[in-house]
Structure 1
Amino acid sequence: MIARSTPNGTFDAAVWTAQSTGAWHFVSLPTELADEISDVVDHSRPGFGSVRVSARIGETTWATSIFPDAKRRTYVLPVKKAVRTAEGIVEDDVVTVHIDLG
């Protein structure tokens, strides 16, 4: 068996809101990172295909999940209000995100 390292990554992405609610804010992972993550996660788990991660923007780190988004063909990371407030983030800001698979 070949040992595989867990994909982690740092990337820049624009913050966007979900059209259906306008309240949920997300960033989209780069497709290359999403592909690496998809290659190592257990797709037989129940649920929406979510993957537990630790995320960091600026000085704020939080535990959350990323979710597959078929329309965008990548995973999306929700950026909760507490993080946006702490880091002064608004829609369309480009932020530097670091994620570690949990």
Structure 2
Amino acid sequence: MIVETAGVLFRRDARRDDWYFVPLTREASDDIREVPRPERGFGSIPVLVSVGSSSWRTSIFPDAARGVYVLPLKRSVREREGISEGDTVRARLDVLDG
């Protein structure tokens, strides 16, 4: 399943580090939820992601507060693509089966 989405990059404080995430749209999240798949830790779903010229494999996670999945955006990608907190990020996700 290929999903194209856009969201505003936000920072979540953790105990030791800051984590940056892009929320998927409600529509994209609903489409992803509809496909049955095996349970994984923290409700994660493996994806291949493209943002700008960067591509990598990661997982998306459900965010109960927002009611959507969120995509973690690592520092190397943010720096390479010139993305900062509050920027709108367009991403293409190839949602994997497992």
What's the TM-score once normalised by structure 2's chain length?
A: 0.88
Paired residue total: 95
| SS of equivalent residue, structure 1 residue 90 | coil
> Structure 2: 5+ residue runs without aligned partners?
none
Among the aligned pairs, what percent are the same residue? Answer: 39
The structure that is strand-richer by fraction is: 2
Offset at residue 96 of structure 1 (A): 1.1
1:98 paired to 2:85: no
1:24 paired to 2:19: yes
* Larger-gyration structure (1/2): 1
Instruction: Give the partner amino acid of 1:62.
Output: W
Please, what is the CA RMSD of the aligned residues?
Answer: 1.4
> Structure 1: 5+ residue runs without aligned partners?
1-5
Q: Superposition pairs for residues 2-17 of structure 1, below 5 Å?
A: 6=1, 8-17=2-11
Structure 1 runs (4+) deviating above 3 angstroms are 19-22
Residue deviations 1:10-69 (CA, integer Å, cap 9, x gap): 122111000445610000000111111111142x52411100001111000010000001
What's the TM-score once normalised by structure 1's chain length?
A: 0.85
| SS of equivalent residue, structure 1 residue 48 | helix
